[in-house]
Structures are given as C-alpha cells and as structure tokens.
Amino acid sequence: MAARCIAWTITVLCAGTSLVTGTPLRSAKRAAPATEPDPNFAVNVTLNGVTFTNKGLVGFGLIPSDFIEVTGDTIGGIGSAIAIKLGSFKQNSNGTYSGTIIAQPDRGFNIDGTIDYQGRQHAIDFLLSPYYDDANLTFDDGQQTLALTYKSTFRYSERNNVPTTGLDALGVRPAQAGFPTDPLADPEMPIPNSSFPRLSLDLEGLVLNTDGTFWISDEYGPYIYRLNGHGELIQTIQPPQAILPETSKGAINFTSVNDPDTGRAGNQGFECLTTDTAGTTLYAMLQSATIQDGGDDKSTSQFTRLLAYDISFPSMVRPTLIGEWVVPLPLNSKGNTLAASEIHFISPNVFFVLARDGDGHGGSSDKSDYKQADLIDISNATNIAGSEFDSSANPIAKKGKLNNSITPATYVGFVSFIDDTQLARFGLHNGKPADNTLIDAKWESLALAPVGDPANPHDFFLFTAADNDFISTHGVFDGQSFNAGDDVDNQFLVFRVTLPHAWV
C-alpha cells in the first residue's frame, strides 16, 4: 500500500517536496476538507470480544436507470452481485482511490413474468473521493464522491456455447456426465434452437478467482456454477437434498412461481456467495428458510442455512460440502423475517450478512425500516453438514421453531444503510418523497477494499450496490422498449469500517 497522502495540503508534504512556491499557506481559519471521518459518526459493536466500528458513509454514486450497455440493453439489476476486479484497487497520490467493479445483474426486467435475459457481467471503473465532512452535500455533488464509468460487458453460456436465459425454470434436464439435474427454461417456450434447451439462471452471487474463472450463485437450483474467463460453464454444485425444490413425491421442480413442498422457497435461493481470503472455501447462504424449516411464511422463515464447500482442488468435479450452519435472521417489529441478500467473508468464522426489508425507491413502500450489513460469528454454531438435517424429512426448524439440538450462529447488527444523518450528507433520504434522491429498496451486494491508512490499519471501504429491478420508463431489451412505470437509478454506497481481524 502506498504511503498515506490522503488529501490536498498533506499531499504536497508527503510527496517529499517542500511547499510549492507561490502556493498560499492555508489559513488556520479556513476549514480544509476533512481527511478522517468525524469521530462523532462512529458506531461500535462488539462480537466475541472484538470491537467493530462503522465510521459512516464516505461515498455515493449511481448509473442512471436508462443507461444502455454495449449489447444494446438497458443496464439494470447490477447490485445483485458486485466484486472488485482482482488487482484493480489502488490508492492515488491525491487521496482518491480507483479500481474496477464487476457487477452481475439477475434475470432482467420483470413487468409481466420472466424474460429471455442472458446472464452477463459488467466492468465499471470507479474513482472514490472519500467524503468525511459533516456538511450536507447536494445530491449532484454527493454522487461525485463515487464517480462510475461503465466499461464493458460479456455474456454467459452453457456447454456447447448455448446462451443462458433468465426465463422461469419450468423444465428439468436429467443429470449428465459431470453435471447434476439442471433447471431449464420451459421447453414449450419459443426459444431459438430448441435442440439445445437453455439453462435458466436467476443470478445473485459472484466470486472472482485468481485463475480467471469465477463462481456464480443462483436462485432456481439453487445452484452454484463455475464459469471460465469467457463466460462458459465448466462446473456445477448441487446442494444437499434438503435444499432442492421437490414435490412431496420427491420430484424436482425448479420453478420460482410456485413454492415446492420441501427445499428452497421460490425466489429465496442462493442470494449470498463469498469465499475465504485464500480462495479455498466457498460459502453460500439461502435468502431465508427452506419450506420444511418454516420458509412458506415470513413469520416463520428466520432460520436460514449457510453452506461451505472445499474448493481447494478446482479440478475436482464435485467440491465437498464441509460445513453447514444455521443463521438466525433478524425480525422486524411484526416478527417477520428480514431476509438476507448477501454475505461477505471477514475472517475465519466471521462474515457480513446484508439483511433488509423491501422498502425504498422501487420497493413496496417509500420508508424503509431495516437495511443493514450485520455481522455473524459461526464459531459456536453446530455444523450440520452431512447430518440427518440434509434430508428434507428432518427439518432444522419445524414451523420456524429451531430444533434444540442445534446452536445457531451469533448475529449482531452493524452498519445501517438508512441512517438519516449519513444519507443527508450525500443529498439522499429515506421515506417520502419518492424521487431519485430516495434510497433504493433492494441492496444485494458487498465488497471490501483496504483504506491503506497506517494510523488505522484495520480500516476498510465497504462497497454496496442496489438491484434496481431494471425499473425505467424507457428501458430497452433485445431491441424492444419497455416501460416499468418509474425510474430507479442503480445506486452505490461506500462506508468506512474498522474490522480488527479481517483477513481480507
């Protein structure tokens, strides 16, 4: 990490030069831009004896709701998953930070059912100029703190180079050599080249590997797939039977429209995906409980499952399930589950969990009550991998009541995305009016990058982005226009946090 030359006046000094001739010395009375977060913003929480600090919001940026990407489609849904391109993040000598965010949308716009949207990822360059002052910026100035520049897109394909689709997975392909039973688009749908039925993906998680391949997680299977650098499928992980969507007769049906009798609930699949720092263990978590664990109702869907796979031998056809733990999701004031949209590894046994309601811009109502990057610790939690609970016949939480033989993860609240003071500093707000300065509803992604501050060596930037559901009044898909009735920008936020033992 480069030496700390965080801002303006200091830059000149730490570059090793003396003050430039002719540059007026900054008067003691004129306030210089803050180079550290205001200590009054700090919120501490303790987990397992360790103090974690939220130092507040330091960056905001957006890509407009009607921006068209290189394939000709409206960019959208990109907060479903983000990752910082490996090796791209850097601290500049003028106190800014730059890098490239890789963002992965889910399954396209959703006005009247699912569409034939091919899986893809976008590269977006950013310039982060952390803002630490108390004063409220205007919305226009606020969004300069994380300047975003769209760069490129590539799309995903299955074996035989067949494009993937976002269409509901009404079909099933029996297991084939090296690959499990797969979710396919409805065979009745008029898809070109029906001799190669399309693999249906509703993408939510993204993990980039050092060898150029990457893992993605989906909600239909719910499965985890590995693709190569050209976006071609090379490997599929099928979860234990307890998680597969099955009828009471044991038949698999991957549709997201109706709930199965057991297994993941519709649209409550693998929202969450992360890897440890060494890239040897892959973690995936369900958005909320399976049906047999109470997942058919928000008042009983609190107990979700976090799974760990050994990926230290990438060539192994089926990575081994080595861990499975129960995570107790937070509840709102009505006792309803605040489902999880992302996880992120911090250190062995400790993770971020992004849990939230569906309110905010583009959501069910304007006023959100809960959107947080919280913390979990699984060091005391029971590892149920390979136990009787991997069969749907043995629920971990019948009707939402946790089996008393299981100790769940420890869960503590941490970074709120809807703190009024922090939002106001960037010209944003929560609640009415529902204009473009209202915070988005669906935050679904997390990424970390080191601040590189020798005085605060455990400080990190926590990036998050919202899934805007492609909500645009003048959207374009596959050459056709669509009108989703509102304009919801693709918003990004950056917080500064202290993570004392982070292995990031």
Ligand X SMILES: *[C@@H]1O[C@H](CO)[C@@H](O)[C@H](O)[C@H]1NC(C)=O
User: Under the rule (CB under 6 A), what is the footprint of ligand X?
Assistant: 42, 44, 48, 51, 53, 92, 94, 96, 98, 127, 134-136, 160-162, 170-172, 193, 196, 253, 255, 257-258, 377, 379-380, 388, 394, 398, 403, 405, 410, 424
> Cα(348)–Cα(302) distance, rounded to whole angstroms?
24
Identify any residues that bridge with 174 across adjacent strands, giving them in sequence order.
none
> Cα(363)–Cα(382) distance, rounded to whole angstroms?
36
Residue 429 or 442: which CB sits closer to ligand X?
Answer: 429
Dihedrals phi, psi of 117, to nearest 5 degrees? -95, 120
Burial of 124 (0-12, 13-18, 19+ CB in 10 A): buried
Residue 375 or 441: which CB sits closer to ligand X?
Answer: 375
Shortest Cβ distance from residue 472 to ligand X (Å)? 28
Shortest Cβ distance from residue 466 to ligand X (Å)? 21
Shortest Cβ distance from residue 155 to ligand X (Å)? 13
Shortest Cβ distance from residue 303 to ligand X (Å)? 13
Shortest Cβ distance from residue 46 to ligand X (Å)? 9
Residue 356 or 425: which CB sits closer to ligand X?
Answer: 425
> Cα(132)–Cα(130) distance, rounded to whole angstroms?
6
For 231, the token pair is 């976006």
Shortest Cβ distance from residue 14 to ligand X (Å)? 14
Residue 76 or 142: which CB sits closer to ligand X?
Answer: 142
Dihedrals phi, psi of 498, to nearest 5 degrees? -105, 120
Residue 96 or 241: which CB sits closer to ligand X?
Answer: 96
Shortest Cβ distance from residue 200 to ligand X (Å)? 12
Beta strands in 23-145 (DSSP E): 43-47, 50-63, 81-84, 90-91, 97-104, 120-128
Residue 40 or 333: which CB sits closer to ligand X?
Answer: 40
What are the residues whose beta carbons fall under 8 Å from the beta carbon of 225, sequence distance 6 or more?
A: 201, 215, 216, 217, 218, 233, 235, 236, 237
Residue 66 or 419: which CB sits closer to ligand X?
Answer: 419
- Residue 63: closest CA among 448, 489, 385, 497: 489
